[in-house]
Structures are given as C-alpha cells and as structure tokens.
Structure 1
Amino acid sequence: MYLEIVTDKQDRARQALVSWMATFFTCGYLLPWAIATTRGKSNAPLIGAVNLFTGWTVVGWFVALGMAVGEHRVAGLRVWTEPGR
C-alpha cells in the first residue's frame, strides 16, 4: 500500500505562456501572476487580479508575490494498493 499527498497544483501551460508575455510587455509588473501560473497555483486568476488592481501600491504587488510563491494546499490523500494483495 502506498500513500500519496494530492495538492491543488494544476497544469496551465497556455496561461503560463500568456502571463510571461504580459510580464515582459509590462516590464515585470505582472511578475507575481506569471510565477503563480508557472507554479500551477489553483488561485492564479485571483493572484492576477490582485496584482493588476492593487499592484500599483507596491504593497499589493508584494502581497500578490507572496501568494504566488506560497505553498500549494493539500487537497487530499490518495491510497494505492498493489493488485493481488
């Protein structure tokens, strides 16, 4: 029997590409959103919204960055059993 921790990480390759292009064109302003999408954060759209609307305050930008680099939340535990046992 094997136990596996399941997190909320999601694969969003297309969104990550768009976010990195937007980060490049905004000279790094949207960097927290790009980091969040690259890391597969489930709340990447929320991080993007926080970054877009409050990032200009600098405090909002650092809040979005903190959300982007935070740990993934644990979504559950998956139990694997070997067949025949």
Structure 2
Amino acid sequence: MYLEIVTDKQDRARQALIAWAATFATCGYLLPWAIATTRGKANAQVIGAINFFTGWTVIGWFVALTMAVGGHRVAGLRVWTEPGR
C-alpha cells in the first residue's frame, strides 16, 4: 500500500505561456501572475487580479508575489494498493 499527498496544483501550460508573454510586455509588472500560473496555483486568477488591480501600489505587488510563491494546499491523500494483494 502506498500513500500519495494530493495537492491543488493544476496544469496550465497555455495560460502560463500567455502570462509570461504579458509579463515581458509589461516589463515585469505581471510577474506574480506568471509565477502563479507556471507553478499551477489553484488561485492563479485571484493572484492575477490582485496583481493587475493593486500591483501599482507596490504593496499589492508584493502581496501577489507572496501568494504566488507560497506552498500548495493539501487536498487529501490517495491510497494506492498493489493489485493481487
């Protein structure tokens, strides 16, 4: 029997590509959103909204960056059993 920790990480390759293009186009302003989408954060849209609307205050930018680099939440445990046992 094996236990696996399941997190809220999601695969967002297309959105990450768009986020990085927007980050380069805005000279790094949208960097927290790009990091969040690349890491597969479940709340990447919220981080992007915080970054877009309050990032100009610098404090909002750092709040979004902190959220982007934070750990993933644990969603549960998955139990694997070997067939035939």
TM-score range, shorter chain: over 0.9
Gaps in structure 2 of 5+ consecutive residues: none
Question: Could you tell me how far apart the structure 2 residues matched to 1:11 and 1:83 are?
Answer: 29
1:26 Cα deviation after fit: 0.3
Question: Could you tell me how far apart the structure 2 residues matched to 1:24 and 1:56 are?
Answer: 16
Question: Could you tell me how far apart the structure 1 residues matched to 2:51 and 2:60 are?
Answer: 6
Gaps in structure 1 of 5+ consecutive residues: none
Question: Could you tell me how far apart the structure 1 residues matched to 2:39 and 2:62 are?
Answer: 17
Q: Which residue of 1 aligns with 2:38?
A: 38
Question: Could you tell me how far apart the structure 2 residues matched to 1:27 and 1:82 are?
Answer: 51
Q: Which residue of 2 aligns with 1:53?
A: 53
Other structure's SS at 1:83 match: coil
1:69 aligns with 2:77: no
User: Identity of counterpart residues, as a percentage?
Assistant: 86
Give structure 1 regions of 4+ aligned residues with deviation exceeding 3 angstroms: none
1:19 aligns with 2:19: yes
TM-score, L = length of structure 1: 0.99
Output the amino acid matched with 1:65: L
Count of aligned positions: 85
